[in-house]
Amino acid sequence: MAETSSDLPLNDNDNLPHIPIEIVSDEEMALIEAALASARSLTSLPSSSPQFRPNPKSPLKSILLLSKRTLSRCTQSDIEDPPNLIATQKRSRVAESYLRRFRKNRGLAVTDITSTEWCQKQMEFTLRYGAQKTNEAMKAGIARHIKLEEEVIKRVEVKVKSREDFWALKFINFIYGVNQLQFEGLTRELPIIGCVEGVWMVGVIDEIQLPPTLTDHNPILIDTKTRSRDTLPSEPQRRNGRLQLMCYKYLWDNSVACDFPSEQFFEFFRLKPQHSLSEDLKMSGADSGFTISTLDDVVVYYKHTCSTLASAHDQLLLRYESQKDHSLLGEDKFSYDGKWVKDQIQSCLKFWLGEEEASYAPEDERWKCQFCQFASACPAYTDADRTKALPSNDSNIKESQNR
C-alpha cells in the first residue's frame, strides 16, 4: 500500500517545516479511547435532532446530518457488572456475538472497525464495561470539528418522533450534502451508510472535495485529526486513520456502484417504509423542492442521488493540525488499497461476529497498553510491559523517512 502520492489534486505542503514524530501522548490516547466510547450503540432517540444547512451566504439550500460527535452518542450504558473483570466466557458463534448484543438493529460504526483494529481486547472491555469520560483534549478536538462544520453549514433543529424519522433525516442530509458538493465543490460531515461484507455499517465523512479539474469527477475524501501536542502521530495511529478513510471510500463506492438494498435495510433496522414522517421533515423536503411523505419516499430519492455520483478518488488525505492554533502539522496522502481494507474489515468482523475471541495488541505495539484504562485487568499487560520503555522518537523518525 503506497503511503504518499504527489498526484493528489490538492494543495501540496512539501514546504512544511520538519515536525518531530512522537509515539503517543496521554491526550492522544484519550482521544482514541473517546472514539471507542462514542461508537457505542444508540439505544433511544431524542425528541429532536439537529439538522444542518449550508452557510446563509451560499445560494444552495441544503441540510446535513448531525456530526459524528453526536451520530453514535450513547444514551444508555451497555455496561455489565460482573464480579471479576478478567473472567470472560467464550461466546457462541452468532446468538451472542458482540454484533448481536450491542449493535442489533443499529449496525456497526466505522469507529467500531478502527477501534477494533487498534486493539480487539480493548474494544471488548469497552463494550462490556464502558470507557472513560471526555477530557479537555477530547473536548478541544470536538470543538474544532464543530468550527469546521460552521464554516460551510448552519445547524437547524428538526423534530424526530420515530426511528423512521431518524433514518429519513440521515438520508435527507446525505442528499443535500451531495447537492452542496456538486454546486460548491465542498461539503463536510456527510453521513454514509452501506452493507459491507454482509454487515450494515454507518459513518460520517469529515470532508469531501471535488477536484479542481473539470475532467476529474471523483470526489476526494478527507479526514482532519487534531493534536494536543505539535507532533505527528506514531505509525499505528496513522495506520488507524488510513483505515478509517478507506472504510469511508469502501462505503461510498458501494453506494455508488450498487443498487441500495432497501428491503434488507428496512428488515435489518426494523423499519416501516410506509410510516408517515414528521411534519418537520415533510416541510424540509417541500422547502427544497421535492415531496416526501414516508421513509420509502426518501429512500427513493437517496437511491437516485447515489446513481448520479462517481466513485471516490483513489487518493485519500489525512490532515494533522495543532489544537493550540489550528496550524497544519502535516498531511498523509495515500492510495486506496482495496484488498488491504477488505482484509482489515474481515479480521475485525471475526471479532464482532463471535468467530474468534478478542486478540491482544501485537508484541511490538504493546506500548499501547500503557495508555489503556483496562491495562491492570488485561492478561496481556505484564510486569515486564509496565517497565518497558516506549520506542524512541529517533527510531520512529528514521522509519518514517525510509518510507
pLDDT tens column, 18-62? 444 444 444 444 444 444 444 333 333 333 455 545 444 443 333
- Asked if residue 371 and residue 342 are part of one domain, the reply reads no
Q: What pLDDT, in 10s, does the model give residues 257-293? A: 988 999 999 999 999 999 999 999 998 888 878 899 9
- How many domains does the chain divide into? 2
CATH number of the CATH domain containing 347: 3.90.320
- Asked if residue 341 and residue 377 are part of one domain, the reply reads no
- Asked if residue 233 and residue 314 are part of one domain, the reply reads yes
Residue 395 has pLDDT above 90, yes or no: no
- Asked if residue 316 and residue 259 are part of one domain, the reply reads yes
Q: Is 27 inside any structural domain?
A: no
- Asked if residue 354 and residue 370 are part of one domain, the reply reads no
Q: Is 292 inside any structural domain?
A: yes
Give the Cβ contact number of residue 19 at 10 Å: 16
Q: Is 377 inside any structural domain?
A: yes
- Asked if residue 312 and residue 188 are part of one domain, the reply reads yes
> What per-residue confidence (pLDDT) applies to 70?
29
Q: Is 10 inside any structural domain?
A: no
- Asked if residue 172 and residue 129 are part of one domain, the reply reads yes
Using a pLDDT cut of 90, give the percent of the chain over it. Answer: 50
Per the structure, the complete domain to which residue 369 belongs is given by: 361-403
Q: By CB neighbour count within 10 A (0-12 exposed, 13-18 middle, 19+ buried), where does 370 fall?
A: middle
- Asked if residue 402 and residue 308 are part of one domain, the reply reads no
The pTM of the full predicted model, rounded to 2 decimals, is 0.75
Give the Cβ contact number of residue 275 at 10 Å: 16
> What per-residue confidence (pLDDT) applies to 143?
72
Mean pLDDT of 52-79: 35
